[in-house]
Amino acid sequence: MPVYKTPFNGYSVKFSPFYENQLAVATAQNFGILGNGRLHVLQLGPTVTERASFDTADGVYDLCWSESHDSLIVAAIADGSLKIYDLSLPPAANPIRSLHEHARECHGVDFNTVRKDSFLSASWDDTVKLWTVDRPASVRTFKEHAYCVYSAAWNPRHADVFASASGDCTARIWDVREPGSTMILPAHEFEILSCDWNKYDDCIIATASVDKSIKVWDVRNYRVPVAVLNGHGYAVRKVKFSPHRGSVIASCSYDMTVCLWDYMVEDALITRYDHHTEFAVGVDMSVLVEGLLASTGWDELVYVWQHGTDPRAV
Amino acid sequence: MAMRDLVSGGAACAVPGSSSSSNPLGALANALIGSSSKTQERLREIPTATATTSDGNLYAGVGEPFTAALPGSELEHALYPNAQGSEFLQGFRSMDQNRFSDAWDDIQNPQSHFIQPMNGPTNFNGPPQRVLSNFLHSFLHSGQGSAPFGPTSLPVLGLSEGDKQCIRDRSSIMARHLFADKSEDFIHAQVNALLSSLDIDGDIRARGPIPGRSPELEDYWNESQGMKPGPHGADGWVSEFTQHQVPRDDPNMWIQSFERQHGANGWASEFEHEQSQLVSVDQMRGSNIPSLAAMEQTRMLAHTLAQNNDPKFQNSKFLQFVSKMSRGEIGIEDNQFKPAAFSAPGNWATEYEQQYSGGRSWADQFSNEQLSHGPHGWANEFAAERELHGGTENEWVNEFSKLNVNDWSEEFERQVADGVLGDGSADNWANAYDEYLDEQASLKQKSDSSRGVYVFSDLNPYVGHPNPLKEGQELFRRGLLSEAVLALEAEVLKNPDNSEGWRLLGVAHAENDDDQQAIAAMMRAQEVDPANLEVLLALGVSHTNELEQAAALKYLYSWLRQHPKYGAIASPDQPENLYYADVARLYNDAAKLSPDDADVHIVLGVLYNLSREYDKAIEAFQTALKLKPRDYSLWNKLGATQANSVQSADAILAYQQALDLKPNYVRAWANMGISYANQGMYEDSIRYYVRALAMNPKADNAWQYLRISLSCASRNDMLEACDSRNLDFLQKEFPL
């Protein structure tokens, strides 16, 4: 399957929810410590071609595609801003919005998949903010976490419910109609870097932590995790539920590998892909093509492959 | 349907995400949101953004302005309980009312339920305890003074304050991801080491660590039990306080959290300002960690990272980046990392110039200081003095700025000797100058010895001694290591080709806890006598202590090859790259060949230390001890290994054995202190450090360990005695 080389270090990769052959990659120079960033939009074919790219003054840490407009992408920038790009416009007209409210690095964005009207941003300023594409200012700020918030994820069924993962070692469940968080999940003993909801069971959430584990939780009974997935050798950077199989989870880690898990079975690790030569920090599963995976890492490579095949095989 | 059902998976929520009125949530959404048409209109205002078919029926049946009605938007300004939401909340709570206390217990004692992946065999590759402490020091040290003489910025870097802040914060946050099982101090030190090589103050305003969890959890719990709406006055205050409580031992963090609560305009920022002023005053006094040393630290960090045996890690560009940075090969310009035109290692003068020239010559520094000190202190005195002396000093200053760096010190000396400056007023000057010279000397020492150049002591009373070797051996036997070092130095100055003199000198340094000098001396010994087994073994051990795996393997391999019994095992032509596994295998073969050779077991123990297989290392040393029960250094090795594998209590027993055999074994005394400190027994550790220092006051490491233990034991009253190295006072206060 195709490989694409980005000039900067990869930070995040996401398939378009509209076109099976499109994906976008967030990258940052110097491992995101200092320097510029670039957002790539890639077209999959026999080879990977770049459809567009946008430069930013600081690293791009994450991105999400709009669920309502096939050409809109929201990017989370290390300078704390969120930038909205419209692919149907020439580069000069982009970004069409720059929303600067976060006091520190923006590390995660997620577009609402139910009502498809809003998105969340998670920031190192310890807050999560709720935005709509058409408003110049955030709708709400959720400030409860005591340390960096690394990611926020909408519940796939309830338009107002989302989860956030933070370095304060908790994940929190929120309902935007509520003043505060609805639930606090002291999920790990170490920082939590990512969380995601099961796409088939709206009460199941997975958290990924610096403690090298992924834990799966049922929010109805969160005292004990439903499953603990051990196998990564370093901090787990991202976790993602499969859009096609309820019990399948993809993850990537500072141990440079991408793993696929089935948390329902005892021997949970399905496959380990070790194609990256630096920290693997971005992974996604296509909603439109079952089994199609994408990953990126600090080796400046974007891999797209079918589950079960070797990502490096051309 | 109540939210409770939703949460507990009631059948009614089976219609995912639809807004149809059959779904209560959807209905609610409809009622609350309204307005899809309006939304789409607004979205179309964004140039050519096209709505796709996929969201066609999303906002069906609506009319009101979208933005005002987005759920939750009202909460930004006015917080009021929402009936639906409360029910939702209730849903979570009602599940398990009876078991709250159990749950609380679980949270308090997470071991009982939470799976502890960290307990298993860990892949984290940190340096052993001793190195960790070294890192800890450098951080503490730099916390007091930070960076070298002209630390504000290297002119070539051109980093803005913002850039520095960025590098500082981001590397801190990332380091915490990588070194999760290490202490915050360790992480801080790691980052600091990285930053110092870029000449960035790492410790001033870096993003603080994760706040302590347990006090917070109490809050969470109260919250989730619905106790929040209770009396908001005092309780609220208390809980707020708890929530913002942070570990107290880090003043910077505390300031930070204060600032976060009260804004940057509070006294915290003022304090910070003052603090940074203090720091800069310190820097001017020259009581700073030299940046070469910092670079050395980064080199260690790179090494630490490179310890991971996974070839992928060895090839990682990120790690190479870190290690390049550590070697000063990467600088930053215009917001970008660039390879720097740094001097080749070994050229001390160039390096010196690079650090101190570039528009910041000493004379410049002087005039700056004069400005910043204003009417205070010695500058004032000096100025007054200058008036007295009329034009002489003006000339002097002028001359100064013209002088080359290498010349002015002589010039200064000459002038001092000529008495141009006068007596009393020149004292401050002279002191500052002396300090500076000392710093220079120690810098030189560090930079040289790290390259294997042996640095001789000044003013050696044993020079001219008829038989310094004999004297040195005798002093060594009596455990007067510092004296022995001097005598042996006199010996090798007299007979540079005396391998035994160099070897013993190396051993003395190793026992005195100075591996760099030990390596330098041993390398000279090896030059003279390449086949000396003791020397090869010692070099292997010292390099292991310094975490230099490749070098350690090289010498251990040579040991095997030179050994009459095992020479046949090792292939005669040494492979280009030695792999740990190969060397370990060869030694295992050797151990099978002659299981009664203690040396082989010792090397095996050292090798297992390199690979951090501490259990195997302990076993190997124990075997060796059965064969050589009176080898005190072997007991010390066993102790150090046990300490590294977190068996500090056992380690103390082993060190005790070493000390019983050799009561003035400085290294064992200091190691003993470390083991006590590791167990949190700081008072005890202090006594051992003081004892070690009484025997070798030059053991800089031990002074730093002592300082840490004093702080940890809340004996801040003794810090001054420590800083002024007042041993008498310390020994009275902490008798053993």
Q: Which of A180, A86, A186 is nearest to A128 (CA)?
A: A180
For residues B550 and B543, give the distance between their C-alpha atoms in angstroms, rounded to a whole number.
Answer: 9
Q: What is the predicted pLDDT for the residue at B203?
A: 47
Q: What is the predicted pLDDT for the residue at B281?
A: 37
Q: What is the predicted pLDDT for the residue at B180?
A: 67
Structure tokens at A167: 């370095």
Residues 6+ apart with CB under 8 A from B127: B135, B300, B303, B304, B307, B547
Which position has the token pair 């233990």? Answer: B709
Q: In whole angstroms, how large is the CA radius of gyration of chain B?
A: 32
**Cα torsion angle, B416, B420, B424, B429, sign:** negative
For residues A154 and A197, give the distance between their C-alpha atoms in angstroms, rounded to a whole number.
Answer: 8
Give per-residue pLDDT as tens, A235-288.
999 999 999 999 999 999 998 999 999 999 989 999 999 999 889 999 999 999
Q: What is the predicted pLDDT for the residue at A25?
A: 97
Class of CATH domain A3-306:
mainly beta
Residue B664 has pLDDT above 90, yes or no: no
Name the β-bridge partners of A245: none
Q: Does B10 touch chain A (CB under 8 A)?
A: no
Average pLDDT for B577-606: 86
Neighbouring C-alpha atoms within 13 Å toward the C-beta of A181: 24
Nearest CA in chain A to B334: A35
Distance (Å) of CA A296 to CA A55, A121, A165, A181: 18, 21, 21, 32
Helix (H, G, I), strand (E, B) or coil at B156: coil
Q: What is the predicted pLDDT for the residue at B293?
A: 42
B222 within 8 A of B228, measured Cβ to Cβ = yes
Helix (H, G, I), strand (E, B) or coil at A272: strand
For residues A180 and B75, give the distance between their C-alpha atoms in angstroms, rounded to a whole number.
Answer: 9
Residue B413 has pLDDT above 80, yes or no: no
Task: Write out residues 179-238 of B within 8 Å (CB-CB) of A.
Answer: 180, 207, 210-211, 213, 216-217, 220, 223-224, 228
For every residue of B26-71, DSSP letters joined together read: HHHHHHHH--HHHHHHHHHHSTT--B-GGGTTTT-S--S-HHHHST
Q: What is the predicted pLDDT for the residue at B60?
A: 36
Confidence grade of residue B158 (pLDDT, cut at 50, 70, 90): low
Chain A residues touching residue B332 (CB < 8 angstroms): 34
Higher pLDDT, B45 or A8: A8
Residue B628 has pLDDT above 70, yes or no: yes
Give per-residue pLDDT as tens, A45-79.
888 899 999 999 899 999 999 999 999 999 999 99
Residue A195 has pLDDT above 80, yes or no: yes
Q: What is the predicted pLDDT for the residue at B196?
A: 65
Higher pLDDT, A58 or B428: A58
The 10 Å Cβ neighbour count of residue B301 is 26
B283 within 8 A of B275, measured Cβ to Cβ = no
Give per-residue pLDDT as tens, A114-155.
999 999 999 999 999 999 988 999 999 999 999 999 999 999
Q: What is the predicted pLDDT for the residue at B647?
A: 81
Higher pLDDT, B330 or B484: B484
B186 within 8 A of B126, measured Cβ to Cβ = yes
Residue B57 has pLDDT above 60, yes or no: no
A202 within 8 A of A155, measured Cβ to Cβ = yes
B191 within 8 A of B171, measured Cβ to Cβ = yes
Q: What is the predicted pLDDT for the residue at B545?
A: 74
Chain A residues touching residue B95 (CB < 8 angstroms): 220-221
For residues A16 and A23, give the distance between their C-alpha atoms in angstroms, rounded to a whole number.
Answer: 5
Give per-residue pLDDT as tens, B60-104.
333 344 444 566 666 664 434 343 433 433 333 333 343 444 444
CA distance B578 to chain A (A): 23
Give the predicted TM-score (pTM) of the model. 0.46
Task: Write out residues 686-705 of B within 8 Å (CB-CB) of A.
Answer: none
User: Which range in B40-44, B111-115, B161-165, B450-454 is most confidently predicted, on average pLDDT?
Assistant: B161-165
Q: What is the predicted pLDDT for the residue at B226?
A: 40
Q: Does A3 touch chain B (CB under 8 A)?
A: no
Nearest CA in chain B to A223: B103
| The residue type at B550 | A
Q: What is the predicted pLDDT for the residue at B295?
A: 46
Residue A109 has pLDDT above 90, yes or no: yes
pLDDT mean across residues, chain B: 61
Q: What is the predicted pLDDT for the residue at B454?
A: 85
For residues A149 and A126, give the distance between their C-alpha atoms in angstroms, rounded to a whole number.
Answer: 5
| The residue type at B631 | D
Chain B residues touching residue A169 (CB < 8 angstroms): 210, 213
Residue B343 has pLDDT above 50, yes or no: no
For residues A194 and A205, give the distance between their C-alpha atoms in angstroms, rounded to a whole number.
Answer: 11
Q: What is the predicted pLDDT for the residue at B276?
A: 43
Average pLDDT for A94-114: 94
Residue B632 has pLDDT above 50, yes or no: yes
Give per-residue pLDDT as tens, B690-720.
998 888 887 777 888 898 888 888 888 888 8
For residues B392 and B384, give the distance between their C-alpha atoms in angstroms, rounded to a whole number.
Answer: 13
Chain B residues touching residue A86 (CB < 8 angstroms): 46-49
Nearest CB neighbour to A177, from listed B72, B216, B335: B72
Q: What is the predicted pLDDT for the residue at B690?
A: 92
Helix (H, G, I), strand (E, B) or coil at B242: helix
CA B355 to chain CA mean position, Å: 22
Region of poorest pLDDT, from B40-54, B432-446, B539-553: B40-54
Structure tokens at B57: 């029926």
For residues B298 and B199, give the distance between their C-alpha atoms in angstroms, rounded to a whole number.
Answer: 12
Q: What percent of chain A has pLDDT over 70?
A: 99
For residues A124 and B254, give the distance between their C-alpha atoms in angstroms, rounded to a whole number.
Answer: 18
Nearest CA in chain A to B68: A139
Residue B661 has pLDDT above 60, yes or no: yes
Region of poorest pLDDT, from B33-37, B309-313, B616-620: B33-37
The 10 Å Cβ neighbour count of residue B706 is 28
Helix (H, G, I), strand (E, B) or coil at A39: strand
Task: Write out residues 105-164 of B within 8 Å (CB-CB) of A.
Answer: 106-107, 110, 113-118, 120, 123-124, 163
Question: Is the previous residue joined to A17 through a cis bond, with omega within 30 degrees of 0?
Answer: no
Task: Write out residues 60-119 of A within 8 Å (CB-CB) of B.
Answer: 67-72, 78, 84, 86, 88-89, 93, 96-97, 104-105, 113-118
Higher pLDDT, B306 or A135: A135
Nearest CB neighbour to A191, from listed B117, B170, B176: B176
Domain locations along chain A: 3-306
Nearest CB neighbour to A71, from listed B7, B49, B170: B49
For every residue of B360-406, DSSP letters joined together read: --HHHHHHHHHHHHTTSHHHHHHHHHHHHHTHHHHHHHHHHHHS-HH
Q: What is the predicted pLDDT for the residue at B54?
A: 38
Neighbouring C-alpha atoms within 13 Å toward the C-beta of B369: 25
pLDDT mean across residues, chain A: 93
Confidence grade of residue B549 (pLDDT, cut at 50, 70, 90): confident
Distance (Å) of CA B548 to CA A214, B302, B305, B585: 34, 11, 12, 19
Average pLDDT for B34-58: 35
Q: Is the ipTM of this complex over 0.95?
A: no
Q: What is the predicted pLDDT for the residue at A73?
A: 96
Give per-residue pLDDT as tens, B352-395.
444 444 334 444 444 444 444 444 444 445 444 444 444 444 44
Note the residue count of chain B. 736
Residue B291 has pLDDT above 50, yes or no: no
Nearest CA in chain A to B19: A115
The 10 Å Cβ neighbour count of residue B509 is 25
Q: What is the predicted pLDDT for the residue at B735?
A: 86
Nearest CB neighbour to A35, from listed B19, B70, B336: B336
Confidence grade of residue A157 (pLDDT, cut at 50, 70, 90): very high
Phi, psi of B327 (to 5 degrees): -90, 5
Residue B570 has pLDDT above 80, yes or no: no
Q: Does B167 touch chain A (CB under 8 A)?
A: yes
Give per-residue pLDDT as tens, B203-226.
444 555 554 444 444 444 444 444
For residues A293 and B156, give the distance between their C-alpha atoms in angstroms, rounded to a whole number.
Answer: 44
Element (H, E) at B285: helix B267-285
What's the DSSP call for residue A150? E
Distance (Å) of CA B663 to CA B666, B667, B675: 8, 11, 18
Cβ–Cβ gap B47/A96 under 8 Å: yes
Helix (H, G, I), strand (E, B) or coil at B220: helix
Residue B531 has pLDDT above 90, yes or no: no
A238 within 8 A of A245, measured Cβ to Cβ = no
Helix (H, G, I), strand (E, B) or coil at A172: strand
Average pLDDT for B643-654: 84
A226 within 8 A of A261, measured Cβ to Cβ = no
Which position has the token pair 């302005």? Answer: B65
Confidence grade of residue A29 (pLDDT, cut at 50, 70, 90): confident
Q: What is the predicted pLDDT for the residue at B199?
A: 59
Q: Which of A174, A306, A185, A296 is nearest to A237 (CA)?
A: A296
Q: What is the predicted pLDDT for the residue at B159?
A: 64
Which position has the token pair 């099976």? Answer: A20
The 10 Å Cβ neighbour count of residue A107 is 28
